[in-house]
Amino acid sequence: MTRPAAARALVGGLGLVSLLGYTVGLSLLAAGSLRTHVAYIVLFSALFLVYLTATRFLLRWGPADRILLGLVLAFGLLFRVAVLASPVLLSSDLYRYLWDGRVQWAGISPYRYPPAADELAPLRDEAVYPNINRPTKVTVYPPGAQAVFALMARVAPNSIVAWRVFLLASEIATVALLLALLRRTRSSPAAVIVYAWSPLVIFEGVQAGHVDLVVIPLVLAALAWRGGGSSMRAGIALGGAVLLKLYPLVLLPAWWRSRDWRFPAAVAATVALGYLPHAATVRLGAAGFLPEYLGSAEDHNIGLRALLTYPLGLTGELPRAVAMGVLFALMAGVVVWIGRANGGNAAGMTRAGALAVGAYLLLVPTSMHPWYVLWIVPFLCFSPWPAWLYFSGAVSLSYLSYVVEPAPIPWWAWLAEYGPLFALLFLSGWRTIAHRVPTALAPRTL
């Protein structure tokens, strides 16, 4: 058997094993019980091991082969099609999307009333309303997300499958952009497997239905235009991503080149135009649930802040506020530094984007739900850092917080989730410093 044929056989075999997991495995899970979360973690872990095996093989030994790339893309599509009609398992966010879209078509701002308000009683039903989380709180989702919710409420009201099909279309755009960017940076197209086969992307994306999936093609479009020198288009795309979820804002300083004001101006104008209609009706209420979301009641699966404060017993509101302020300030400083060190070409912009997303995930002092990690996965196609590749699987352990009493994640699960991440990032940083210092100290030739 030739090397290409052996590679195709291996990838095909691993793809079939994964497909079995996404079909049979999901059918065995039932929502709403302790067994669901535990069984999910077991299923996810098995699929993640298969994913790592296939990814490692293709990135290290896989030949440049169009048929092999076709297999990767075909299985990636099949994995997603397999979960289109599956029940909603772990997160009820999707129901809030359906509700917010319905409210908007009733001519009411989702920032004005929470679902439980008497004013919205005529809109309630038995399919969507009982499944909404935080029914006494107004929506947390920004205007761009609300526009998408309204669009889907018009196209296919109350349809979970239709929403998932929309997300699948977004993923097709993501993969197309990834392939174009991989070609531009002279990377192997086969590296798209890092995204296409990621269990995190499949479960938290199409299966769970998180709107974060729509953010990714806009971020990649901004990257493509930024690397190609189109500042205005890049700014509009990044502004659109910020209107869907606020966190892509960290990419603004990372991708900003000095004396180029068109890029930040386009981002600011896009975001302002998105918020203006809502601010005109509800004013500061357009912030929605966000101020409360930043409060201690919403803390879940905290990362670096927990490591820095919890062992010292600093769990009160004041230490929490100080730690959050310090980490947010540090994050801002880091992404500005990343922008200044940015080479400006396509490869430099890609690396700056990956570093900025990694800095955000490491330093953000608020909750870390698994779907918040989604947007680093496409960047791993260009540089598959072991730390973040590991964390894209280990973050699923946070679901254990829903099956133990008291609710916070068990210490051993937190350690298994974050310990290797911190260790791998430390080793990576140490190796970088060890490599650069001798070079910097070497005598220069006259």
pLDDT digits (tens, 9 = 90+) for 247-259: 999 999 999 987 8
Token match 């192997």: residue? 188
Of 94, 138, 91, the residue nearest 291 (C-alpha): 138
Supply the pLDDT for residue 60: 86
111: CB partners within 8 A, 6+ apart:
138, 139, 278, 282, 285, 286, 287, 288
Angle between helix 212-227 and helix 231-244 axes, rounded to 10 deg: 170
Contact 181, 382 (CB under 8 A): yes
113: CB partners within 8 A, 6+ apart:
103, 119, 120, 138
Residue bearing the bigger pLDDT, 304 or 341: 304
Q: What average pLDDT does range 31-54 have in this prediction?
A: 86
Supply the pLDDT for residue 318: 92
Q: Answer yes or no: is pLDDT of 445 > 50.
A: no
Q: What average pLDDT does range 122-141 have in this prediction?
A: 95
- Report pTM: 0.94
Contact 146, 136 (CB under 8 A): no
pLDDT in tens, 58-92: 988 877 789 999 999 999 999 999 999 999 988 99
Q: Answer yes or no: is pLDDT of 46 > 50.
A: yes
Q: What average pLDDT does range 224-244 have in this prediction?
A: 95
DSSP string, 285-330: GGGTTHHHHTSGGG--S--HHHHHHGGGT--SHHHHHHHHHHHHHH
> What token pair was written down for 131?
């499944």
Supply the pLDDT for residue 443: 44
Supply the pLDDT for residue 442: 44
Q: Answer yes or no: is pLDDT of 380 > 70.
A: yes
Supply the pLDDT for residue 344: 75
Average pLDDT of the chain is 92
In the structure, what pLDDT confidence band is assigned to residue 153 with cuts at 50, 70 and 90?
Answer: very high
